[in-house]
Amino acid sequence: MLDQPFHILLVEDDDVDAEVVIRAFRRNAINNSFTIVPNGIDALNSLRGAEGLPRLPRPFVILLDINMPRMNGIEFLHALRQDVTLKRSIVFVLTTSNSDEDKMAAYDEQIAGYLLKSQAGDDFMNVIRLLDSYQAAVEFPPEVA
Protein backbone atom coordinates (compact mmCIF):
# COMPACT_ATOMS: atom_id res chain seq x y z
CA MET A 1 0.00 0.00 0.00
CA LEU A 2 1.30 3.45 -0.91
CA ASP A 3 1.80 6.43 1.41
CA GLN A 4 1.13 8.76 -1.53
CA PRO A 5 -0.71 8.43 -4.85
CA PHE A 6 1.31 6.94 -7.69
CA HIS A 7 2.22 9.00 -10.72
CA ILE A 8 0.42 8.13 -13.95
CA LEU A 9 2.11 8.08 -17.33
CA LEU A 10 -0.73 8.44 -19.82
CA VAL A 11 0.46 7.35 -23.26
CA GLU A 12 -2.34 8.68 -25.43
CA ASP A 13 -2.30 10.49 -28.77
CA ASP A 14 -5.94 11.66 -28.55
CA ASP A 15 -6.02 14.96 -26.63
CA VAL A 16 -9.76 14.65 -25.92
CA ASP A 17 -9.40 11.18 -24.36
CA ALA A 18 -6.43 12.36 -22.29
CA GLU A 19 -8.37 15.36 -21.00
CA VAL A 20 -11.40 13.22 -20.11
CA VAL A 21 -9.24 10.85 -18.05
CA ILE A 22 -7.57 13.67 -16.14
CA ARG A 23 -10.87 15.49 -15.52
CA ALA A 24 -12.42 12.28 -14.18
CA PHE A 25 -9.61 11.92 -11.64
CA ARG A 26 -9.92 15.55 -10.54
CA ARG A 27 -13.72 15.45 -10.37
CA ASN A 28 -13.46 12.53 -7.97
CA ALA A 29 -10.80 14.21 -5.82
CA ILE A 30 -8.19 11.61 -6.74
CA ASN A 31 -4.91 13.45 -6.69
CA ASN A 32 -2.57 11.42 -8.85
CA SER A 33 -0.07 13.47 -10.83
CA PHE A 34 0.13 12.90 -14.59
CA THR A 35 2.62 12.97 -17.42
CA ILE A 36 1.00 12.77 -20.85
CA VAL A 37 2.89 11.72 -23.96
CA PRO A 38 1.54 10.99 -27.46
CA ASN A 39 3.53 7.84 -28.37
CA GLY A 40 5.77 5.05 -27.18
CA ILE A 41 9.04 6.78 -28.03
CA ASP A 42 8.19 9.77 -25.83
CA ALA A 43 6.97 7.39 -23.12
CA LEU A 44 10.30 5.54 -23.04
CA ASN A 45 12.17 8.86 -22.97
CA SER A 46 10.05 10.01 -20.01
CA LEU A 47 10.64 6.78 -18.14
CA ARG A 48 14.39 6.94 -18.78
CA GLY A 49 14.83 10.69 -18.34
CA ALA A 50 16.23 10.89 -21.89
CA GLU A 51 16.07 13.42 -24.73
CA GLY A 52 15.87 16.32 -22.30
CA LEU A 53 12.79 14.98 -20.49
CA PRO A 54 12.82 14.68 -16.70
CA ARG A 55 12.73 11.12 -15.36
CA LEU A 56 9.25 10.05 -14.35
CA PRO A 57 8.67 10.13 -10.58
CA ARG A 58 8.19 6.79 -8.84
CA PRO A 59 6.07 4.92 -8.10
CA PHE A 60 4.14 5.06 -11.36
CA VAL A 61 1.54 3.24 -13.41
CA ILE A 62 1.31 3.43 -17.19
CA LEU A 63 -2.02 3.83 -19.00
CA LEU A 64 -1.26 2.87 -22.59
CA ASP A 65 -3.16 3.29 -25.83
CA ILE A 66 -2.43 0.74 -28.56
CA ASN A 67 -3.01 2.72 -31.76
CA MET A 68 -0.49 5.57 -31.81
CA PRO A 69 1.95 7.12 -34.28
CA ARG A 70 5.74 6.62 -34.27
CA MET A 71 5.74 3.69 -31.81
CA ASN A 72 2.46 1.95 -31.06
CA GLY A 73 1.50 0.40 -27.73
CA ILE A 74 2.61 -3.15 -28.55
CA GLU A 75 6.02 -1.94 -29.78
CA PHE A 76 6.33 0.16 -26.61
CA LEU A 77 5.50 -2.83 -24.39
CA HIS A 78 8.12 -4.96 -26.12
CA ALA A 79 10.80 -2.27 -25.64
CA LEU A 80 9.72 -1.70 -22.03
CA ARG A 81 10.04 -5.39 -21.13
CA GLN A 82 13.53 -5.54 -22.70
CA ASP A 83 14.79 -2.71 -20.44
CA VAL A 84 16.27 -4.11 -17.21
CA THR A 85 15.31 -1.04 -15.16
CA LEU A 86 11.77 -0.71 -16.56
CA LYS A 87 10.65 -4.29 -17.19
CA ARG A 88 8.63 -4.50 -13.96
CA SER A 89 6.60 -1.39 -14.77
CA ILE A 90 2.87 -1.74 -14.20
CA VAL A 91 0.92 -1.18 -17.41
CA PHE A 92 -2.79 -1.07 -18.08
CA VAL A 93 -3.83 -0.88 -21.72
CA LEU A 94 -6.66 1.63 -22.30
CA THR A 95 -7.64 1.48 -25.94
CA THR A 96 -10.36 1.36 -28.58
CA SER A 97 -8.86 -1.82 -30.06
CA ASN A 98 -11.02 -4.85 -29.37
CA SER A 99 -8.77 -7.03 -31.55
CA ASP A 100 -7.96 -10.45 -30.13
CA GLU A 101 -4.53 -10.12 -31.73
CA ASP A 102 -3.85 -6.88 -29.81
CA LYS A 103 -5.12 -8.40 -26.56
CA MET A 104 -2.88 -11.46 -26.89
CA ALA A 105 0.14 -9.37 -27.87
CA ALA A 106 -0.40 -7.04 -24.90
CA TYR A 107 -0.85 -9.88 -22.38
CA ASP A 108 2.23 -11.59 -23.82
CA GLU A 109 4.09 -8.48 -22.60
CA GLN A 110 2.82 -8.92 -19.02
CA ILE A 111 0.26 -6.11 -18.77
CA ALA A 112 -1.85 -5.76 -15.62
CA GLY A 113 -5.10 -5.39 -17.57
CA TYR A 114 -6.65 -4.61 -20.95
CA LEU A 115 -9.41 -2.00 -20.76
CA LEU A 116 -11.62 -0.91 -23.64
CA LYS A 117 -12.42 2.78 -23.79
CA SER A 118 -15.94 1.90 -24.95
CA GLN A 119 -16.51 -0.08 -21.73
CA ALA A 120 -14.78 2.36 -19.40
CA GLY A 121 -18.11 3.91 -18.47
CA ASP A 122 -19.24 7.51 -18.53
CA ASP A 123 -16.18 9.74 -18.35
CA PHE A 124 -13.89 6.73 -17.77
CA MET A 125 -15.32 6.21 -14.26
CA ASN A 126 -14.72 2.43 -14.28
CA VAL A 127 -11.03 3.05 -14.98
CA ILE A 128 -10.81 5.68 -12.25
CA ARG A 129 -12.39 3.37 -9.67
CA LEU A 130 -10.13 0.49 -10.71
CA LEU A 131 -6.95 2.54 -10.37
CA ASP A 132 -8.03 4.11 -7.10
CA SER A 133 -8.67 0.65 -5.61
CA TYR A 134 -5.43 -0.65 -7.13
CA GLN A 135 -3.25 1.99 -5.50
CA ALA A 136 -4.93 1.40 -2.12
CA ALA A 137 -4.28 -2.35 -2.12
CA VAL A 138 -1.25 -3.30 -4.22
CA GLU A 139 2.43 -3.36 -3.29
CA PHE A 140 4.71 -1.97 -5.99
CA PRO A 141 7.98 -3.62 -7.00
CA PRO A 142 11.12 -2.03 -5.55
CA GLU A 143 13.06 0.30 -7.79
CA VAL A 144 16.11 -1.19 -9.50
CA ALA A 145 19.23 0.90 -8.94
Q: pLDDT (tens digit, 9 = 90+) per residue, 88-136? A: 999 999 999 999 999 999 999 999 999 998 877 666 777 888 888 887 8
| pTM attached to this predicted model | 0.89
Report the C-alpha gap between 71 and 78 in whole angstroms: 11
Report the C-alpha gap between 75 and 92 in whole angstroms: 15
The structural domains of the chain, ordered by start, are 7-129 (3.40.50.2300)
**What residues contact residue 34 under an 8 Å CB cut-off, 6+ apart?**
7, 8, 9, 10, 22, 25
> Helices 125-137 and 15-27 sit at what angle, rounded to 10 degrees?
60
What pLDDT was estimated at residue 43? 96
